[in-house]
Structure 1
Amino acid sequence: MTSPPRVSMEITDEMIKSMEVGLAFRDYLRFPALLGRCCSTGRGWRGRGWERMTEVAHKRGATNLNPSVPPRLVHSCWIVSLVADLLRCRCSLFSKDFGWLGAMARPPSVSMEITNEVVKSMQMGLVFKGYNGRISSMDFHSKATNYLVTASDDESIRLYDTQNAVCLKTINSKKYGVELVCFTDNPTLVLYSSKNGWDESLRLLSLNDNRFVRYFKGHLDRVVSISFCSEKENFLSGSLDRTVLLWDQRAEKSQGLLRVQGRPAISYDDQGMVFGVAYGGCIRMFDARKFEKGPFEIFSVGNDDTEAHVLKFSSDGRRMLLTTKAGRVHVLDSFHGNSIASYTVKPVLTNSTLEASFSPDGNHIISGSGDGSVYAWNVRSGKVARWGSTDNEPPLVRWAPGSVMFVTGSSELSCWVPDLSKLGSFTITK
């Protein structure tokens, strides 16, 4: 099957006037339907519609609709989130044993085009509070893309449905602590690392019944990087013990071992055929099927040989980024290793991690900074935006797959969406 054609249409007054109902979906979850009524019937933002929307959002776990943001922005944030979800025509298949979280098909590639203007307009539309420590890790599911899992220094693992603005579940890991967390191919299972100083095992946790499915023992020091293969049941883990272990989630023993000469940053590409291991100023590329033969390519990131923090591939696999302790964000061609761009932010402290994330189309990058700011760059043209903060620690950042939204994590979880009132026009792509 060939890929669908790319369709762009400028949204003009004439086009809006001509719009009619072409297809109607019934049996929506209560919150989106109520949201529609609130936005359409409220008499201004001070009307009962806005009050009711705030009340429902609070009941769903959103402890703050960010009163510092102009009401017009908050309305537009919720509207664009709802419109984006309707454009994707998401269908949730609820399983019998896990009614509130079913398997989700990958949504069609229909969304708002991510331009520099769209990125510049983005502001916080929703803030989740209630954490008693900093968020240490976040991950979106690769297919059920509205599900987000977080780990926090307060030893909690929290599952969110960003489409419906609700925290679905909170699980505490008081005995082992938690530092890194990621989804497996199954949205009901997460993998997380310990943070208790005496047990460096990885654990496969069922969110369905709060049960450990399997333990993965092998590392002798803190695990600093985890990457799950979205197409298979394999994952990688990198540790300060200077090893990278390859695992099959169905087996307790590791399937392979790579020794490194420093703190490793690791990542699978989107297809799971290749993975990268970064340390010592270089990125080593491995064939996942023949990793024991060593790297088939070694790419240098110039004269930056400081500690590697995060390695990630773009969704199309053509680009990759590497962040380092020195406050550098390197962008490379993943096929040839050519440097595409390099950005500089304030360096981070010893115990912090500098994070960065590609937009779904791979053309923009967001990153944290040692001064607490969030930066956005266009890979081709450079800096697009900077959002300041009173916090002096780098926030975690994640762009939601297939969505015009990114999230940041510090002592609270924030969802960022475009402010439509700042956009003269925007393009819908297919």
Structure 2
Amino acid sequence: MPPPPPQASLKLSESLPRYRPSKSFQDTHPNAEITSLDFDDSGEFCIAASDDETLQLYDCRLGKHQKQLFSKKYGVHLAKFTHTTTQVIYASTKENDTIRYLSLHDNSYRRYFVGHTGKVNCLEVCPTSDQFISTSMDNTLKLWDLNSQHFHGQLVLPSPLLAAFDPSGIIFAVATPHSAPPSILLYDLRNYDKQPFATFPLPDTKYLQSTRQAMPTWSKLEFSNDGKNLLLGTTGNHHYIIDSFKGSLVTRLIRDRGPPKRQNGHTWGTSGDVCWAPDARFVIGAMAGAGQQGSADGGKGGVGLWDMGKGIPVEGCLRPGWELECPREAGGAGCVAFNGRSGLFATAGREVVFWLPEMGEAGTGGIH
């Protein structure tokens, strides 16, 4: 039985603004970009998938690169640890739409999950079992078990783009941005074949019209660690926090300068440039076209910290309280992930960067 989902063991309200880049890794091709990040259950390892068709494994305790693995024939995206430190699943970007189950120990495939007929755009492993979810451009969501090559459940939905398990592993959410209106659907894993028990429409037309924006592309769906809220990340100038019980909009997280631009123009996006901190109070995300020439900040880029513990402004838009500077050479924060076991978070663009608190300093943004 896999361990329970990690709980925040650190008081982050004071330490997060003191986080600084601790270690940078440039192990991919110089022109490659990293498209996904994930930590294993123990918090000891980080896996990065890159568009140069490699997987990079990092030891978080030692702060070192562990090994490189290749997937040249099939490509690699959305690499996710199973409940062991030596096995991952990932989506193919070439040849076919098969999901591959890889042993990192000997670089051999344990199983192939065949069934999708379109690009897989989301993979999520259940936090409490060996089940996982995939969504695809073939308009299906499939439920799998790591012990079988055949999917055991399927939902046909209008362009399912993202999925997420709640911390209990009982509920899963599905984002369908092309339904009318764009919505998030909640299902009980034990009765997934029935209608969703909750549907949260997210038209947000009044705000979008007032700011002359179209609905941005949705890029990340994640439950907070206490299960109370959902983070819906986008590729635009704002993200959404949604009450996971009522479906009401809690706040928009504003980032004025927009997201990082991806140099290589790949169509499969990233695993998301925004995430929850383990205490369910802070959200961490990319702030600018980090590392890009001509970006508003001169190419430095930044990581924003949104603190919901100080209350939500009347207009329902929350701006970052702090901004931390990314190393220029790292290529920004196209992917962001938090290691709830160790208190480390990682960002990735051209390089993987580990962040840890530096004692005795405040955040650099000066926005709060």
Return the TM-score normalized by structure 1: 0.69
- Matched residue type, 2:190: R
> Hey, what's the Cα distance between the residues in 2 that align with 1:138 and 1:110?
19
Tell me which moved more, 170-179 or 352-361: 352-361
Deviation at 1:358, TM superposition (A): 0.8
Q: Is the 8 A contact 1:119 1:385 kept in 2?
A: no
Identify which of 278, 285, 293 aligns with 2:194: 293
> Hey, what's the Cα distance between the residues in 2 that align with 1:421 and 1:272?
39
Relative to structure 1, is the Cα distance of residues 385 and 271 closer, same or farther in structure 2, using a 3 angstrom cutoff?
same
Q: Is the 8 A contact 1:357 1:365 kept in 2?
A: yes
Runs of 4+ in 1 over 4 A off after TM superposition: 103-111, 347-350, 388-394
Structure with greater proportional helix content: 1
Deviation at 1:394, TM superposition (A): 5.1
Tell me which moved more, 389-398 or 248-257: 389-398
> Hey, what's the Cα distance between the residues in 2 that align with 1:110 and 1:291?
30
Deviation at 1:114, TM superposition (A): 0.5
**Per-residue CA distance 1:178-234 (angstroms, 9 max, x = gap):** 0110001122210011111x3110000011211101001111121111100021110
Identify which of 371, 394, 397 aligns with 2:336: 397
Q: Is the 8 A contact 1:340 1:379 kept in 2?
A: no
Identify which of 338, 357, 360 aligns with 1:418: 357
Q: Is the 8 A contact 2:8 2:279 kept in 1?
A: no
Identify which of 348, 364, 367 aligns with 1:409: 348
> Hey, what's the Cα distance between the residues in 2 that align with 1:356 and 1:204?
26
Does structure 1 residue 163 correspond to structure 2 residue 61?
Answer: yes
Does structure 1 residue 225 correspond to structure 2 residue 122?
Answer: yes
> Hey, what's the Cα distance between the residues in 1 that align with 2:66 and 2:138?
35
Does structure 1 residue 192 correspond to structure 2 residue 192?
Answer: no
Name the structure 2 match of 1:378: 307
Does structure 1 residue 146 correspond to structure 2 residue 44?
Answer: yes
Identify which of 226, 237, 245 aligns with 1:316: 226
Unaligned runs of 5+ in 2: 206-214, 291-301, 311-317, 363-368
Q: Is the 8 A contact 2:8 2:340 kept in 1?
A: no
Identify which of 352, 355, 360 aligns with 2:273: 355
> Hey, what's the Cα distance between the residues in 1 that align with 2:201 and 2:100?
34
Name the structure 2 match of 1:29: none
Q: Is the 8 A contact 1:184 1:230 kept in 2?
A: no
> Hey, what's the Cα distance between the residues in 2 that align with 1:407 and 1:395?
11
Q: Is the 8 A contact 2:19 2:324 kept in 1?
A: no
> Hey, what's the Cα distance between the residues in 1 that align with 2:7 and 2:333?
32
Does structure 1 residue 264 correspond to structure 2 residue 161?
Answer: yes
Relative to structure 1, is the Cα distance of residues 397 and 296 closer, same or farther in structure 2, using a 3 angstrom cutoff?
same
Does structure 1 residue 255 correspond to structure 2 residue 152?
Answer: yes
> Hey, what's the Cα distance between the residues in 1 that align with 2:97 and 2:6?
39
Deviation at 1:323, TM superposition (A): 1.1
SS in 2 for 1:422: coil
Tell me which moved more, 208-217 or 383-392: 383-392
SS in 1 for 2:16: helix
Q: Is the 8 A contact 1:231 1:272 kept in 2?
A: yes
> What percent identity do the matched residue pairs reach?
29
Q: Map 1:271-290 to 2 at 5 A.
A: 271-280=168-177, 281-290=182-191
Return the TM-score normalized by structure 2: 0.80
> Hey, what's the Cα distance between the residues in 1 that align with 2:6 and 2:34?
31
> Hey, what's the Cα distance between the residues in 1 that align with 2:333 and 2:199?
29
SS in 1 for 2:15: helix
- Matched residue type, 2:199: I
> Hey, what's the Cα distance between the residues in 2 that align with 1:236 and 1:177?
20
Deviation at 1:289, TM superposition (A): 0.8
Identify which of 57, 72, 76 aligns with 1:178: 76
Q: Is the 8 A contact 2:2 2:129 kept in 1?
A: no
Relative to structure 1, is the Cα distance of residues 112 and 270 closer, same or farther in structure 2, using a 3 angstrom cutoff?
closer
Relative to structure 1, is the Cα distance of residues 295 and 105 closer, same or farther in structure 2, using a 3 angstrom cutoff?
closer
Unaligned runs of 5+ in 1: 1-102, 424-430
